[in-house]
Amino acid sequence: MEIKTTIKATAFVMLIAGAIAATSCNNNKNQNKMNENNTSLFPKGEKLSNDWFSGNAFLQTLLARDKNNDFALGSVTFEAGARTHWHTHPKGQVLIITEGEGFYQEKGKPAQRIKKGDVVNIPENVEHWHGATANTKMVHIALTNYEGEQNVTWLKPVTDEEFSEVNK
């Protein structure tokens, strides 16, 4: 009878394990369904250096420059309050905002609110910054054209005073 009991006990354990697996599987399915509809297009990627970004910004590289594509392509996630330093691009940059809301500002001009679905065509050699608002995250695809070996020149940080001013 000992063997029979063991079999029964094993069957019971397997039944429970199966039930847990089924539940977990179901959760994953729901999770995927949720991802499909609600969550970010790309992974967040690696944290970007505070040498060039204030706060928590992240880069997921999508494509490196190659013989056909004379640009770098990546997804940049700015947590609330995060932003680039002031900078210029020698051959411009295109931003495609894929999530949230933030700012784009050219030196000496008022900041523009940018949000999911917007496309910004940044001219060459114009000092500017972009990033989240103080209270919302912002995610954009960045398509950064090259001129020779260069595609960006970093300048000074956007100060807390400058950032507060556009968030008023």
Q: By CB under 8 A, name the binding residues for a copy of itself.
A: 35-38, 41-42, 62-63, 66, 68-70, 73, 91-92, 94, 96, 98, 116-117, 119, 121, 123-124, 141, 143, 145
Three-state DSSP state, 15: helix
Of 100 and 157, nearer to a copy of itself (C-beta) is 100
State the minimum distance, in angstroms, from the CB of residue 167 to a copy of itself. 19
State the minimum distance, in angstroms, from the CB of residue 99 to a copy of itself. 8
Cα-only R_g, the chain: 24
State the minimum distance, in angstroms, from the CB of residue 62 to a copy of itself. 5
Residue 60 · residue 139 · CB < 8 Å: no
Of 11 and 41, nearer to a copy of itself (C-beta) is 41
Measured CA distances, 72 to 22, 69, 91, 93, 146 (Å): 43, 8, 12, 10, 8
Question: What's the CA gap between 147 and 112, in Å, rounded?
Answer: 27
State the minimum distance, in angstroms, from the CB of residue 108 to a copy of itself. 21
Of 14 and 63, nearer to a copy of itself (C-beta) is 63
State the minimum distance, in angstroms, from the CB of residue 63 to a copy of itself. 6
Of 29 and 116, nearer to a copy of itself (C-beta) is 116
What does the DSSP assignment read for 122-165? Answer: EPTT--EEEEE-SSS-EEEEEEEE-BTTB--EE-----HHHHHH
